Structure 1
């Protein structure tokens, strides 16, 4: 179980929160976000989502919006500055625990509210990602008109799109553009 590296649940949760708050629910016409919707969003990232309370929804919205800056940063220094600012504002108390998953590190102090656990884990996950790979493994999708973010956890680290669908659309569009250019040269 890799809980400390860039493949940790904190990085995945950061991507999910940013896309949820800054793309999927960014429109003023979007329906209000429910606690249940946020629990469903964060459940795959090993959080005890039953602890999420309604007042924390707004805190997580603000945090998701703030996290976007790290993904959108064009320079490592800017991303590091944002990450360090976030790390300064979370109360970490790392400790070793074993509750049936093997010995591993928890960064959040025992008993902190759910939103603070999410803030701590996403901040440390992105800090580890930056420390290990700089800004080369994260960013905003390269597809036209897509604003979703991604974090690359693959072996080769060449991802530039938020999803296979965006990558496929971009590749098809590039192929068609090359075909049009070749046919106009031939005419």
Structure 2
């Protein structure tokens, strides 16, 4: 494990949110309705307030571009944006234990809006990433026709493709190109 468990989960959740945006997923909206947001809430183990409304869905969707830009900024700019996310939410880090998780940080109350909690969780995770000098682990998929984001948590920093099948597709294309040269 490169980062603490809660940091890795927050980064993975941010990747899932960013890649749910039609701008990153080939024009397909992966958070099309409140039911999809409910499923995301449950799948990622969120706790606390969840209104289950169109307004909440719109707030979460609105965070995706802000999250996505963090994958493409220089360290000083990421730090500035993280500080802004945390300040907007009036984040107050606290140690908590719940639902089978050992001690970890929360920086909002459970009553804070879901989009705010998501922004703060990512902000706190990026604090760890920046402080560890590991910002290069935040990447955009290397496939020419994909703009999905990923977090490279491999020990040897070898991950280049998103979870959308791009690695397999690129490898098959390269194999076929090699075979065509031999024919």
Aligned to 1:143: 143
Aligned to 1:82: 81
Aligned to 1:120: 120
1:60 aligns with 2:60: yes
Partner SS, residue 103 of structure 1: strand
Partner SS, residue 136 of structure 2: coil
Specify whether residues 26 and 120 from structure 1 end up closer, same or farther in structure 2 by C-alpha distance, changes over 3 A only: farther
Q: In structure 2, how many angstroms separate the alpha carbons of the residues matched to 1:49 and 1:168?
A: 38
**CA deviation map 1:62-83 (0-9, x unaligned):** 111111101133x333333333
Deviation (angstroms), 1:163: 2.0
Q: In structure 1, how many angstroms separate the alpha carbons of the residues matched to 2:30 and 2:87?
A: 33
What is the root-mean-square deviation of aligned Cα atoms in Å?
A: 2.9
Larger radius of gyration: 1
Specify whether residues 100 and 162 from structure 1 end up closer, same or farther in structure 2 by C-alpha distance, changes over 3 A only: closer
Q: In structure 2, how many angstroms separate the alpha carbons of the residues matched to 1:170 and 1:99?
A: 42
Asked if the contact 1:60–1:115 (Cα under 8 Å) also holds between the matched residues in 2, the reply is yes
Asked if the contact 2:60–2:114 (Cα under 8 Å) also holds between the matched residues in 1, the reply is no
Asked if the contact 2:49–2:110 (Cα under 8 Å) also holds between the matched residues in 1, the reply is no
Asked if the contact 2:139–2:150 (Cα under 8 Å) also holds between the matched residues in 1, the reply is yes
**91-100 vs 154-163, which moves further:** 91-100
Asked if the contact 2:25–2:147 (Cα under 8 Å) also holds between the matched residues in 1, the reply is no
Deviation (angstroms), 1:122: 1.8
Partner SS, residue 160 of structure 2: coil
Aligned to 1:45: 44
**Number of residue pairs the alignment of both structures matches:** 178
Specify whether residues 41 and 98 from structure 1 end up closer, same or farther in structure 2 by C-alpha distance, changes over 3 A only: closer
Specify whether residues 42 and 144 from structure 1 end up closer, same or farther in structure 2 by C-alpha distance, changes over 3 A only: farther
Unaligned runs of 5+ in 2: none
Q: In structure 2, how many angstroms separate the alpha carbons of the residues matched to 1:39 and 1:25?
A: 23
Unaligned runs of 5+ in 1: none
Specify whether residues 157 and 45 from structure 1 end up closer, same or farther in structure 2 by C-alpha distance, changes over 3 A only: farther
Q: In structure 1, how many angstroms separate the alpha carbons of the residues matched to 2:75 and 2:177?
A: 33
